[in-house]
Amino acid sequence: MASLTVPAEVPSVAEDCEQLRSAFKGWGTNEKLIISILAHRNAAQRKLIRQTYAETFGEDLLKELDRELTHDFEKLVVVWTLDPAERDAYLAKEATKRWTKSNFVLVEIACTRSPKELVLAREAYHARNKKSLEEDVAYHTTGDHRKLLVPLVSSYRYGGDEVDLRLAKAESKVLHEKISDKAYSDDEVIRILATRSKAQLNATLNHYKDEYGEDILKQLEDEDEFVALLRATIKGLVYPEHYFVEVLRDAINRRGTEEDHLTRVIATRAEVDLKTIANEYQKRDSVPLGRAIAKDTGGDYENMLVALLGQEEE
């Protein structure tokens, strides 16, 4: 369930643009006004605001935000204001430029988005960078990581709910054999994870647990960077809320908040399932996500995060 709150009566797009323009002018920037508008508009509304702002004032709204705002608050507002596919393309580019074997952003985009959303992200990446996402991922990664990541970002899975239970039984056996042998990067493991629908994978992993008495993730606990990538892949595909809770816990609970991870999760999930993620977070840590964020952040950055959580009045 999404956390984004949009007013029942939204001002006209022209009025939103005029208000944003006024927030940039005069002595200092009116950050509160910017939050009150952009944190309460959906993707279609934000896209129209960007178009109208450019037509009315001859300025790119994103460049204005970049000029007028600073630090983590600036990054959050800009990333949030992007169209979702454009945002994923931006995040993927940043991930490939700074890729390390512990960077799971590419897996996150490939595995937690719907098949259509991933296609749109690839198209946006192509338009922004004049090259394909697959091309950059293949260039910047190596070895087993490349072997898994390229097919993941290239995938166009079936998005429906139909499953083949006989196939689930057969492929759970394949996965069990390969993982028991620690053949984590075997072609069959990667084929199953990179091509099967999320519903089919869920059926396969349920059969795995029933047949072999243990969740597949329990058998993927080796202290190995590729195994960690496999775990993130499975969680992103089958248990996305749990995946995002882990990212948030790591971002908030480590010594010094990891703002990039916090920004990414809040900005990408507010219109999707952030309320569900927040509920799971509270079950896990017995602390409301909004309170945890408020404890570890401050100022306009905190205000924007809490607004996107839909908890401004709490």
- Please state the residue numbers annotated as binding site for Ca(2+): 24, 26, 28, 68, 252, 254, 256, 294, 296-297, 302
Rounded CA-CA distance 68/155 in Å is: 39
Contact by Cβ (8 Å): 144, 303: no
Known binding-site positions:
24, 26, 28, 68, 252, 254, 256, 294, 296-297, 302
Tokens 């450019």 found at = 54
Closest CA to 19 of 34, 40, 41: 34
Contact by Cβ (8 Å): 125, 92: yes
DSSP designation for 161: S
Closest CA to 182 of 147, 226, 139, 149: 226
Rounded CA-CA distance 234/267 in Å is: 22
Joined together, the tokens standing for residue 184 give 């984590």
- The set of residues, in sequence order, having a beta carbon less than 8 Å from that of 166 and lying 6+ positions away, is none
Contact by Cβ (8 Å): 50, 62: yes
